[in-house]
Chain A
Amino acid sequence: MKLSIKNLTHTYDTDVCKNLQFELEGYNSIAIIGASGSGKSTLLRLLSGLEKPTKGSLVVNDYAVDDEVYRKKIGFVFQQHNLFPHLTLERNISLILEKTRGVDPIEAKRIALESLALVQLSDQTYKLPKNVSGGQAQRASIARAFALNPDLIFLDEPTSSLDPVLTYEVLSAVKDLKKLGKSFVFVTHVMSFVKEFADYVIFMDQGNIIEHGLPTILTFPKSKELQFFISHIM
């Protein structure tokens, strides 16, 4: 994966990303960590093109993030599953394939069933999101991102609303998908997962990238901010 961030500033009421400069190449599983309000989720949304930056540019794998082609190459898993509530798990996947990717209905359904099987949801296929557990819904949301066969999947705190058992369930599903050769950029508070799953870590604080490097930076943090963050989260 290749990331290039130049002069990136994003403002809501205050600056949530402050003139970021960042280049990276060659890693396939990048974790963005930091306290709440550090700007990490915003950076993730900007990288995925879900939000447009106030200023600056983002290029991922040589695509500008607002490029339509790029859009079709990425998947996004939201903090709260964000499945369409009126559609079954299967339909949540097959509708997108049919309508936006031009897959024929029978094939779309086959892919949907296959993707749900990948995250161990074959027995929940025809249930509505409200009738499955939070962990199952989040896994379905991962299956949905995966079914579109993206090169790159963004995960925005996929376990933040789940208890430890469901968290484990969801993260195992993500690990299984990594074996299939996808790249990931994710935001999470689960440090054990970062250590185990990420091959690169970006630490943010108050809208700035303070420290970045291999996951060993979590064991030997250099900056005061990361030291403080780790001592409070572990």
Chain B
Amino acid sequence: MKNKVLNYVLAIATIVSFVLYVIFVRDAEFTLDRLITTYSSLLLTGFGNTILVSLITLVGSLLFGFILYLLSISKIPYFVAVVDVFTEVIYGTPLLVMIVLMAFLIGPAFRNFNRPVMGTLGLILYISPYMKNVYQSSFSSISKDQYMAMDLFGFTPIQRYRYLIIPQVIRVLMPPLMNNFSLIIKGSALLYVLAFPELYYVINVAQSQTFLFVEGYMLLWMMYLLITIPLSQFTKWIERALRT
């Protein structure tokens, strides 16, 4: 255990020293102070907005992805086809295009001119097929024989999900879910094209006013890590908690 912690500390130290070395060689003037002190409230707003949009997208895509999953296993071939076509279209669409189309074309067509909302909706639609895949692979991790056993013993559908399917699926579901969440967080940066003040946008503002480009990107990077690392630790913790 002690050894494990030590190895992690060493690994982190390695990366930090590499970064410090690069900064030292490239830019002796490097300082984050000015950015942080001058733009602290703006940065906080951006940070908060990124988290907010990401959480909304996470919940939305979990729900919509589940609907897509249910449709994909539906007995009505039309629904299966719709999901297939939608998935293929999304796979081939750049997220940036998706967001722009949602905010400037699809939204106005339905008399919705709220660009951040339409942009977030675009994110949700974009991530949902990936969520559908997560559900598909997780649920297929339960063998046909297990379903047979559930039948044989006479579990009701609710009991099956509550005691047998969900407890097994959730463990398989966590790692790819985490992958998708980091996809969402990084994807939310593209909302900057809608002038929505998320993290990337506010950093951009700060950079263009101070010309501290390297520092700006450094800060952006660190702030994303500040979201993703605790989150990935949290999912690992959930996985462990469910295992026992």
Contacts and interface: CB of A to CB of B under 8 A. Distances in A.
Nearest to A156: B145
B113 interface: no
Closest 5 CB pairs of A and B: A100-B154, A96-B153, A82-B145, A86-B168, A100-B153
Interface string A70-99: 011010101010101110000000011001
A85 B168 contact: yes
The A interface is mostly helix, strand or loop, or mixed, namely loop
Given A76-B149, A82-B145, A82-B146, 14 more contacts: A50-B148, A50-B151, A50-B152, A68-B154, A78-B145, A80-B145, A82-B149, A84-B168, A85-B168, A86-B167, A96-B153, A99-B155, A99-B163, A100-B153
B51 interface: no
Interface of B: 143, 145-146, 148-149, 151-155, 159, 163-164, 167-168, 171
29 contacts: A48-B152, A50-B148, A50-B151, A50-B152, A68-B154, A71-B152, A71-B154, A72-B154, A74-B152, A78-B148, A80-B145, A82-B143, A82-B146, A82-B148, A82-B149, A84-B149, A84-B168, A85-B168, A86-B168, A86-B171, A95-B163, A96-B153, A96-B155, A99-B155, A99-B163, A100-B154, A100-B155, A100-B159, A148-B153
Contacts of A86: 167-168, 171
Contacts of A72: 154
Interface centre among B143, B149, B152, B159 (most CB of A within 10 A): B152
Given A82-B146, A95-B163, A99-B159, A76 B152 contact: yes
A72 B154 CA distance: 8
Contacts of A50: 148, 151-152
Given A99-B159, A99-B163, A78 B168 contact: no
Nearest to A91: B163
Interface in A34-48: 48
B121 to A, nearest CB: 36
Contacts of A148: 153
B149 A78 contact: yes
A78 B171 CA distance: 25
Interface in A123-178: 148
Contacts of A100: 153-155, 159
Contacts of A78: 145, 148-149
